[in-house]
Structure 1
Amino acid sequence: MAAFFAALFSYTIPLRNISAPSFDLTFEIKTQWDITDWTINEARRDSATAFNGIAGPSTVVGDFDISARFCTPSKLTERAETVLVMTHGLGADKTYWDPTFAGGEQYSLIQAALAAGYSVFHYDRLGTGQSTKADPHSVVQFPIQVEILASLTRLLLAPSSPYTLDVSIASAVHFGHSYGSYITAALASAYPELTQAISLSGYSGIFDFFNILIAGWQSRVAALLDSARWGHLQTGYVTPVDIYADAYLEFKSPYFDHTVAEWASSVKSPYAVGELATLGQRPYDTSNFNKPVQVFQGRYDLSACGGNCDGVLNRTALLWPKASPLNITGTFPAGHSVNLHHNATQAFSVMLDFVGRNI
């Protein structure tokens, strides 16, 4: 990556007294039997009315340490004053945006963004990677992730920010993948002043197909599945049962290399069960967001489109009636993890061209 960097800065950001709405759950995951029963309840065809796992509203307040990295290009132009803030999805960490295996440069949106002149910030969401592993039932839920993203963005935009390597950041553009796209969309709804545009992948805004994801993952308690790797985690952190269950969601043949899927599995970060349980429980309204919105989809995305995005994304457009402009692409030959499929550099070119034309 050295060819594109003037500097990179890896650090831990202390966030203190962060508060958000939360939910009391009706279940607790302690054993593999518990997560199996939860999977059945969430995947059944009548789950929306028969089981939602929510006992009622609550509030969470906490102190969190967030592992992050800021990168700036070797030639500082006006574009470097725009920071692309990237939020990853479930089961991943910040390396999704910048793969660490040999040859991973072609799958790195960060590399492409730096080459285009932008600064980049990416981070491990709460409960993942090297960030705080808070309680996976009561704390690591959807609303707190939105508040954390808002807090991080404010820090980047602050005058003389200690987190931007003396680069004066004038604006932020937010990229999300999968669960990170829902967080990004919620940020745009709640705090539109913090972002100049958003780009979403692994996203349709439609929840109709999440039972396909949950059933196919066959999640297990991570600490019990592999104690050497994840024994330090609380039992509410869960993970797909094996590499093939993971690939079932993330990839689509013949548009990827198996070695890339193997790498993704090797850096897997278990997700907090509270995250999926609370997604969609606190509605957010995107209908008034009037800035640029891009949705760039793998055509064969299971959780977003049920395995075929043809026609589905017409409904996505209805969620963003005032976006200016709204650009939706659903034909890229890939599954859920767009960045990790063949020709990812072409996808990055489209994403970054959208930013360049609209910021």
Structure 2
Amino acid sequence: MKTFTTATIFGLAGLSLARQCQNISVPVTISSVNAEFNVKTPVTDIEVTDFVLNYTQLGKNFPASVKTGTKTINGTYKLAVTLCNPDDGQSDTVQLLSHGGGFDRTYWDIPFNSYNYSYVAVAVDQFHYSTLTWDRLGFGQSQHGDALNEIQFQLETEALNALTTLLRQGKISNTSKPFAKVVHIGHSFGSALTYAFTQQHPTASNGIALTGFSTNGSFASLLAYGSNFIQANTLPHLKHYPNGYIAVSDASALHIGFLAPNQFDPAILTYAIQNLNTPITIGEMLTFGSAVSQANSFAGPTLVITGERDLPFCGGNCFVSPSAEFATIPDAVKAALPQSRNFTAVVVPDAGHGLNLEFGHGFTYRTVNEYLLENVGV
């Protein structure tokens, strides 16, 4: 465990901020029923492209067509997390933050421009929440695994459940007491993970905020095409990942998938491709579709906040009305969460998918934390 104190200037408030943070390695023993597929793990970039073309073929359900059965996966895995508390001590409420595909836990606490893009700084320093960010199982400094058969959506969901239990029990290092309330915040794949977690464990969360999200999966191929995926281990900073981990190839691909026109500092795009570009696995791609396909009986407070120009979840225009009942695509998430309390859907004007990297990030940070303050408390 590494203990450190950060003190930053956060541009939204112009105040000197400080928080107590610890990097911790957390072992979790989990089990999940994973899918088995008649698919070869790609070794070359050509094989990666072939996989994407098969995955996105119109009129075909590729994951279903190659699924051959299931297999139970058991194991103890090490998760890399960062726990941050306000200077005056641990809050009663902790935000458990799950990053999306292509990032790691630093998505929530980006050091670019003196931490001016840090969600954690706002949540901890301005709203006095504790936060726990984690590298999802298989990524960053968390334990990696087989990209096809092991690092799938359900195993990651079980890891999120295990972390939640440990927080409620006060069994993560340097917690002074069990947390009375755990709220779950996600981005993109992390939002889908949060959704699936509450679908399977509807009383385990005190509130959820799903950023960069909708339940419309018809636009996933746009992100798959635009990302120009290659073998992650062909990139110098990702060379330690095994075959089957795939990553966006360059800054243009990251721009297409995550950043809206004229909504970002060009320097953060360069920073992101060099420092935040983390892979996804083909196992995730093959199991992701089932993540939001089932109705969710979660009855707690629920916020959905998505950029107007979000590509993978809105096809580039979240203001399109999916039906007479819903004004926007994010509004329609309500249909999947009929029992949720104080359901609120927000579309961030002009913003793209990677909300934390864009000029409007301050609006997103305040919206999420003000919603939680009003509906969950600190």
TM-score when normalising by structure 2: 0.89
What is the aligned-residue identity percentage?
27
User: Which digits, 9 at most, give the CA deviation of each residue in 1:224-276, with x for residues without a partner?
Assistant: x32x3333221111111211111110101111111112111112111111111
Matching residue of 1:127:
138
Matching residue of 1:210:
220
Matching residue of 1:333:
350
User: Which digits, 9 at most, give the CA deviation of each residue in 1:178-221, with x for residues without a partner?
Assistant: 00000000111111222100000111022110011111112111
Contact 1:156 1:164 in 2 (8 A): no
1:185 to 183, 195, 199: 195
Structure 1 regions of 5+ residues with no counterpart?
A: none
Contact 2:26 2:172 in 1 (8 A): no
Matching residue of 2:153:
142
Matching residue of 2:267:
259
Which range is displaced more, 43-52 or 257-266?
43-52
Matching residue of 1:197:
207
Contact 2:202 2:297 in 1 (8 A): no
User: Which digits, 9 at most, give the CA deviation of each residue in 1:132-171, with x for residues without a partner?
Assistant: 1111110000001100000011111104x24343144111
Matching residue of 1:309:
318
Contact 2:147 2:245 in 1 (8 A): yes
Contact 1:155 1:163 in 2 (8 A): no
Which range is displaced more, 18-27 or 174-183?
18-27
Moved over 3 A (4+): 3-6, 49-53, 281-287
1:23 to 7, 13, 35: 35
Contact 1:299 1:333 in 2 (8 A): yes
In 2: Cα distance, 1:135 partner to 1:237 partner: 9
- 3-state DSSP of counterpart to 1:22: strand
2:121 to 111, 120, 129: 111
Distance of aligned partners of 1:25 and 1:49 in 2 relative to their CA distance in 1, 3 Å threshold: closer
In 1: Cα distance, 2:62 partner to 2:100 partner: 26
- 3-state DSSP of counterpart to 1:252: coil
Structure 2 regions of 5+ residues with no counterpart?
A: 1-5, 8-15, 322-328
Distance of aligned partners of 1:51 and 1:166 in 2 relative to their CA distance in 1, 3 Å threshold: closer
Distance of aligned partners of 1:49 and 1:315 in 2 relative to their CA distance in 1, 3 Å threshold: farther
- 3-state DSSP of counterpart to 2:46: helix
Distance of aligned partners of 1:164 and 1:291 in 2 relative to their CA distance in 1, 3 Å threshold: farther
Matching residue of 2:324:
none
Structure 1 residue 38 displacement after superposition: 0.8
1:47 to 45, 60, 75: 60
- 3-state DSSP of counterpart to 1:130: coil
Aligned residues: 352
Q: Which amino acid aligns with 1:37?
A: D
Tell me if 1:273 matches 2:244.
no
TM-score when normalising by structure 1: 0.93
In 1: Cα distance, 2:262 partner to 2:249 partner: 23
- 3-state DSSP of counterpart to 2:182: strand
